[in-house]
């Protein structure tokens, strides 16, 4: 996948909050993000949609923690709001509990200069350079430690990483290489 990096504003200096951005479902780990923020003693902003099938999860695992100060739910985020929230965050908490095919918000956060703290599932090892563009963690304890180490991550390096690997141009070139290989009688497998 690729993004238009220029659609995201680089922010060299973040505000003082952590961010969860995405679908508010148990597999996305919102409840874990709340726990990490609480233990790290940092505010958490939660942005995204609550799918109809996850209303019970929202009411039982998220709503009781919403206080408008330490944990705030701001609802869905359009491109402008997403850009502002991602750029202003100390880190994106991406504590997924399933093997997600691609964490688009991770590269969008990096495009703004914001590191990700993400569980080592699915595509995360391909998206996050541990200790360089974020931290790959095993769970809540690791995530709390990672938040304490965010100062070691260069926000400029996060932006460079996305520009070197996850642009729409890179994505299109990759597709063309696969098509050329298949047309030449090869396989579509990428090494």
- Contact between 48 and 22 under an 8 Å Cβ cutoff? The reply is yes
Cα 15 to Cα 155: distance, rounded to the nearest angstrom: 13
The HSE-up count of residue 159 (CA atoms within 13 Å, CB side) is: 15
> Percent of the chain scored above 70 by pLDDT?
91
- Contact between 42 and 91 under an 8 Å Cβ cutoff? The reply is no
Cα 129 to Cα 39: distance, rounded to the nearest angstrom: 24
User: How high is the mean pLDDT of the chain?
Assistant: 92
pLDDT at 168: 60
Strand partners, 18: 44, 91
pLDDT at 30: 98
Beta pairing, strands 44-47 & 71-75:
parallel
pLDDT at 171: 61
- Summarize the confidence of residues 110-118 as an average pLDDT: 98
- Tens-place pLDDT, residues 60-94: 999 999 999 999 999 999 999 999 999 999 999 99
- Tens-place pLDDT, residues 11-62: 999 999 999 999 999 999 999 999 999 999 999 999 999 999 999 999 999 9
In this predicted structure, the answer to whether residue 1 has a pLDDT above a threshold of 80 is no
pLDDT at 188: 63
Confidence band (pLDDT; 50, 70, 90) for 125? very high
Cα 72 to Cα 172: distance, rounded to the nearest angstrom: 38
Is 0.85 topped by the overall pTM? Answer: yes
């Amino acid at each position: 996948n690729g993004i238009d990096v220029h659609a995201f504003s680089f922010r060299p200096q973040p505000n003082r909050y952590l961010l969860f951005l995405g679908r508010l479902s148990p597999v996305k780990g919102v409840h874990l993000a709340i726990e990490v923020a609480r233990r790290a003693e940092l505010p958490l902003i939660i942005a995204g949609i609550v799918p109809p099938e996850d209303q019970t999860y929202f009411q039982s695992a998220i709503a009781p923690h919403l206080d408008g100060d330490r944990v705030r739910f701001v609802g869905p985020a359009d491109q402008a709001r997403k850009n502002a929230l991602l750029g202003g965050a100390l880190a994106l908490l991406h504590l997924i509990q399933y093997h997600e095919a691609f964490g688009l918000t991770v590269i969008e956060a990096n495009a703004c200069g914001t590191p990700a703290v993400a569980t080592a599932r699915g595509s995360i090892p391909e998206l996050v350079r541990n200790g360089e563009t974020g931290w790959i963690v095993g769970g809540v304890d690791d995530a709390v430690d990672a938040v304490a180490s965010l100062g070691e991550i260069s926000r400029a390096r996060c932006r460079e990483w996305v520009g070197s690997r996850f642009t729409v141009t890179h994505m299109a070139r990759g597709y063309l290489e696969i098509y050329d290989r298949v047309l030449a009688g090869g396989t579509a497998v990428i090494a």
